[in-house]
Amino acid sequence: MSIRHSSHTDLTLWIVDQSDDPGTEHIVARHTREDQRVRYLRQELPGASLARNVGAYVGTAPLILFTDDDCRVSPEWVATMACELLNPAIWAVFGRVLPLYSSPSDPCGRAERGLLDTAVKTSLQRRVYAQNRLNLGFGHGASMGIRREAFQQIGGFDPVLGAGGPLRAWEDRDLGYRVLRAGGHIVYTPDAVLHHLQWRHWRAVRRNHWNYALGTGAAVGKYLRCGDLIGGAILAEWFWSQGIRQSLSALLKWRSLQRLWIGLIHLLVPWIGLIQSLHYSVEHQYCLYQPLVASCDLAAAVDKP
């Protein structure tokens, strides 16, 4: 609950709970009693994208920030992200994501086992992204914000993409892609600092890369079906940067079969995502997949407190 200690105090914190047991609700209950800014709601349907859409749906603030339950934000994170979004030309903002380890000795242990930090963004240079839809390195969904009017204009997150969804991942890059496609600007600010827990063993690391590779193919599939040929260039760039370069680096630099396996995942699995995405129809106005379950209506998905 690091957000409760933010220097910017004018906020409402919505916690969307998709867990299978009442543990999260019991923990959050103490915070809702202590702080009237903390709100809890239960959502039965799975998926990170759906949870974020629901959180945005029940809120009313003109600026919306998103983070995950395995992250700790700095006291200035809210204020810095919000400050960027006060500029109407800036539709979305992403912040710096640093690794957080479970113990001081963990980084060394990870290095010895050859593990990779995942979902981090460490650049110290502020950057504005506009027009170029091939450059999607603006950041990660764990540290992200968007203007409400922009969120509504692009249709929110794709409910089929993202962790817990049928097409697994890429929901944050997809949202940024659609912001750029609609003419908006995105800012990456290193001053908004967040720490993301790094706990994954190799099996989980491989699964994480599998999900991103599958989500890449799925996202490209809908771009192509919407007549956006940039999707083909994105897939080609992904094969080069995440597949071929990763594989060559694994063989020549790291001499690691585990890293080679990750490179091969990014060469092969996007095709699986591309094929699986054909099961879903595409809503062309927002370039969003339509869930197979009709009950994914936002209002129906929420159990309000």
DSSP string of 70-94, one letter each residue:
TEEE-TTHHHHHHHHHTSTTEEEEE
Token pair recorded at residue 200: 């994954």
> Are 165 and 48 spatial neighbours (Cβ–Cβ below 8 Å)?
yes
- pTM assigned to the model: 0.92
Q: What is the largest CA-CA distance in the chain?
A: 56
Nearest Cα to Cα of residue 148 among 65, 205, 80: 65
Architecture field, domain 2-201+290-303: Alpha-Beta Complex (3.90)
**Residue 205: per-residue pLDDT:** 87
User: How crowded is the C-beta side of 79, counted as CA atoms within 13 Å?
Assistant: 10
Token pair recorded at residue 54: 């629901």
What average pLDDT does this structure show over 27-53?
Answer: 94
pLDDT, tens digit, 9 for 90 and up, residues 168-189: 999 999 999 999 999 999 999 9
Domain ranges for the chain: 2-201+290-303
* Integer Cα distance of 274 and 85 in angstroms: 34
Whether residue 289 is predicted with pLDDT greater than 80 in this model: the reply is: yes
- Tokens 């990014």: give the residue: 266
Q: Is beta strand 38-43 parallel, antiparallel or unpaired with respect to 302-303?
A: antiparallel
Residues of the chain with pLDDT > 90: what percent?
A: 82
